[in-house]
Amino acid sequence: MTGAQRRVGAVVLTYNSSQDLPFCLAGLRAQRGVDLRVIVVDNASNRAERERMKAIFREVLLSSHILAADTAADPDTLAVFLHNDVNSGYSAGNNIGARFAAEIGCEAVLIVNPDVRIDDQDYVSSLLDLITKNDKTAAACSAVTNLSGLQENPMTEPRFIEELLWPVKMVFGRFLPKKGAFAALPTTSLRVERVSGACFLIRVDFLRLIGFFDETVFLYCEESILCAQARAAGWHMIMDPLRHVIHTHRTNAKGDPLPRFRNWAESRSRFHATYGGYGAMGQALLAGSRSLMLALVWAKTTFKQMLERVRQMSEGA
């Protein structure tokens, strides 16, 4: 890399992510055309996992440092592992890395989950070209394919009626007409309403404008918040459909869904209160919809647990 290249910070927020981290870091190390600074922020992983990730970090990125999360940023840092001793959530954890990137002179930040794999060596430089063509482009994304082969970008923000009827979809979804597969993506860049939080590039000047990511939510709804912030500021987001990453996220590895739904419901409530634009009546109706969804998840979880106990009793008889 040369001093003339544009500087970008790649922020990888980890939490017990040793299985995914080597592939993510290898993809970042292979990037060309930019002065890429890799910033891993560990959000209070258990001790064994953190030590494994530190070893992976040192092995993949030789010019690296391991520091506390509150360490002052050094502009000469090429790669840093910042260990945060408190799991402060998705936005707060990414803010640690994003602020570090801003302090060392990065003009943009790549937010990339550890379970994202980037095989395109020009991925970051291409998104940076795209994001800097217009002074009001806040963020840029690419095509994102999950393990089922489904496309996770572009994303849209649900409208009021659609969100209100989510409980109906949970109950009767299997009987409703199925949505067709994603239409073929266009071959040129396009403006999008939302970007997947798994992997996107965001400009540092926009981050400074909004005060960095909103830390009032611990997890979930970050994409919706960013969408609302960009719209309110008169900025926009854009997608390059010709660039592509793979998101190896595994939902079934997360265990009991009820705590996740509770967390999501709380985040969604905060989003609507601050950014949704609905009045008291609209927020109350959506709150009732979320409560019904939580009840449905609880009932489904309880029923599965009851069936499992019956099965264990029958096997022990």
- List per-residue pLDDT tens for the chain, 317 residues long: 445 799 999 999 999 999 999 999 999 999 999 999 999 999 999 999 999 999 999 999 977 898 888 888 888 889 999 999 999 899 999 999 999 999 999 999 999 999 999 999 999 999 999 999 999 999 999 999 999 888 999 889 999 999 999 999 988 876 666 554 456 788 899 999 999 999 999 999 999 999 999 999 998 999 999 999 999 999 999 999 999 999 998 765 556 788 989 999 999 999 999 998 899 999 999 999 999 999 999 998 898 888 888 888 887 65
Burial class of 218 by CB neighbour count within 10 A (0 to 12, 13 to 18, 19+): middle
Q: What is the pLDDT of residue 183?
A: 60
DSSP 8-state class, residue 273: I
3-state SS of 209-250 is: HHCCCCCCCCCCCHHHHHHHHHHHHCCEEEEEEEEEEEECCC
Sequence-ordered alpha helix ranges (H) in 61-154: 90-103, 123-131
Conformation bin of residue 277: beta by default, left when phi > 0, alpha when psi is -120 to 50: left
Q: Which of helix, strand or coil describes residue 253? A: helix
CB 164 within 8 A of CB 272: no
The pTM assigned to this predicted structure is 0.90
The token pair that represents 260 in the structure block: 């996740």
- Amino acid letter, residue 41: V
Within 13 Å of residue 285, how many CA atoms lie on the same side as its CB? 13
* Chain centroid, CA 24 distance in Å: 14
The token pair that represents 176 in the structure block: 């409703």
The token pair that represents 126 in the structure block: 């291409």
CB 166 within 8 A of CB 295: no
The token pair that represents 150 in the structure block: 């489904």
DSSP 8-state class, residue 235: -
Which residues, in sequence order, are bridge partners of residue 8? Answer: 36, 108
Q: E strand or H helix at 156, and its extent?
A: none
